[in-house]
Amino acid sequence: MQFSFTSEQEEFRSVLRRFLEDKSPATAVRRLMETETGWDRAAWVDLNQQLGLAAIHIPEAYGGQGFSFVELGIVLEEMGRALLCAPYFASTVLAATAIVNAGTEAQKRDLLPAIADGSCVAALAFTEPNGRWDTTGVQATATAAGGRFRLDGVKSFVVDGHSADLIVVLARRPGSVGDDGLSFFTVPGNAAGLTRRPLKVMDPTRKQARLEFQSVEADLLGQEGGAAAPFAKTMVQAAACLANEMVGGAERLRLSALDYANLRVQFGRTIGSFQSMKHKQADMLVDVELAKSAAYAAASAAAEDDPELPAIASLAKAAASEAYMQTAISTIQIHGGIGFTWDNDTHLWFKRAKSSEVFLGDPAWHRELLMRAWNV
């Protein structure tokens, strides 16, 4: 397992950071989060034409760049740092990965090139109003109908589901339970019988939607009844990716708190010179660096398809969630009264920290998964 980045990867990070600092300043984040879609299609096209980021981990045979989850982790860390408002996690991390894991060769050749070049934005609909992140929560049904299928049910908390061009849906055969009878399906975003409604969310930089399926025609993705294993793999890979995104945001907050502590003067000296502040800054540094190590290890394990990836990804997700949330809390405290105001940008990352903490399962849930993976 690799624990250091190559010079090429570091240069890629440097180029990406400069690009995102220019394209995603706080003013752009605030503007986009007030829109219904939460992102700008022209900016999304520009992002992919210049850097090809949507194609980063999609195999070259399907129109992608063929890089690994390590490079994808770098992209997500920098996006988390910049709080980029774009459908990247929904389309590239969740939907494209699900298609790679579950689709047939013909389906991957048909669906992935458009996702890779950014002309098609996809979303993965797997959670339902019950809020469960595993297969036990799937209640939406798929009924065979003339060579195709008809979907009925409700999906909720679908990231960018209200604006996606293609929806990848996890549903089950009527009467099945658990991992049995699960299949993936693809549905156009404008399909007849599909109702999409944006949800009112705490974190407006990552929009979510409720999707209602009423006898919606859908195409099978992969093998009928064989989605349990691809879905589990997709969730583990997504957890590793989210951990990398979170440590990027945590590092941005930590540096913001450090800069403010070295600027703010109290009793004739900067507050950063007080011993108690030095202790807090040291604690924040340790928390973020440990979370980074876990996130990088998870990305490396995903790249190598390590059999211990489920445990490592859950460890990274739990560690990054707590580090990001605690760093956000400390950053607001260090900023004092101004840190609680709308005009201060800290609350933007604070809200992303909270939404990411529960997205794909909270720390307690991932510790449970970690214990199961290690048979403790």
Phi, psi of 221 (to 5 degrees): -110, 115
Distance CA 73, CA 304 (A): 13
CA distances (Å), origin 77, targets 80, 194, 325: 5, 34, 16
* DSSP symbols for 138-199: ---EEEEETTEEEEEEEEEEEETTTT-SEEEEEEE-TT--TTTTEEEEEEETT-TTEEEEE-
**Site of tokens 């890629």:** 12
Average pLDDT, the chain: 94
pLDDT band at 205 (very low <50, low <70, confident <90, very high): very high
Distance CA 317, CA 335 (A): 27
∠ CA(27), CA(199), CA(250), 5° rounding?
A: 45
Q: How many helices (H) and strands (E) does the chain have?
A: 12, 9
* DSSP symbols for 59-80: -GGGTS----HHHHHHHHHHHH
Strand partners of residue 298: none
| Average pLDDT over every residue of 138-149 | 92
In this structure, how many other beta carbons lie within 10 angstroms of the beta carbon of residue 8? 9
* DSSP symbols for 95-129: IIHHHHHH--HHHHHHHHHHHHTTSS-EEEE---T
Strand partners of residue 209: 158, 198
| 69-82 and 275-303 helices, crossing angle to 10° | 150
In this structure, how many other beta carbons lie within 10 angstroms of the beta carbon of residue 259? 11
Q: Give the per-residue pLDDT at 264.
A: 84
Residue 371 neighbours by CB under 8 Å, 6+ apart = none
CATH numbers and ranges of domains, the chain = 7-120 (1.10.540.10), 123-225 (2.40.110.10), 229-373 (1.20.140.10)
Are 92 and 245 in contact, with CB atoms under 8 Å apart?
no
Are 117 and 63 in contact, with CB atoms under 8 Å apart?
yes
Residue 177 neighbours by CB under 8 Å, 6+ apart = none
Q: Give the per-residue pLDDT at 260.
A: 87
Q: Is the pLDDT at 376 greater than 70, yes or no? A: no
| Average pLDDT over every residue of 348-357 | 96
* pTM for the predicted model, two decimal places: 0.95
What would the two tokens of residue 208 be?
A: 């979510």
Q: Supply the DSSP symbol for 89.
A: I
Please name the amino acid found at residue 254.
Answer: R
In this structure, the strands spanning 122-125 and 166-172 are: parallel
Distance CA 237, CA 226 (A): 18
| Average pLDDT over every residue of 170-178 | 94
Element holding 290 (H helix, E strand) = helix 275-303
pLDDT in tens, 34-78: 999 999 999 999 899 999 999 999 999 999 999 999 999 999 999
Strand partners of residue 143: 150
Mean pLDDT is lowest, of 75-79, 111-115, 140-144, 145-149, for 145-149
pLDDT band at 322 (very low <50, low <70, confident <90, very high): very high
In this structure, the strands spanning 148-159 and 166-172 are: unpaired
pLDDT in tens, 191-202: 999 999 999 999
pLDDT band at 263 (very low <50, low <70, confident <90, very high): confident
- Three-state DSSP at 270 gives strand
pLDDT band at 116 (very low <50, low <70, confident <90, very high): very high
| Average pLDDT over every residue of 15-42 | 95
132 CB-contact burial (10 Å; exposed 0-12 / middle 13-18 / buried 19+): middle
**Site of tokens 């298609």:** 99
Distance CA 100, CA 60 (A): 12
Q: Is the pLDDT at 2 greater than 70, yes or no? A: no
CA distances (Å), origin 342, targets 38, 205, 332, 347: 18, 15, 12, 7
Q: Is the pLDDT at 3 greater than 80, yes or no? A: no
In the chain, what percentage of residues exceed pLDDT 90?
Answer: 89
What would the two tokens of residue 136 be?
A: 């036990």
| Average pLDDT over every residue of 280-302 | 96
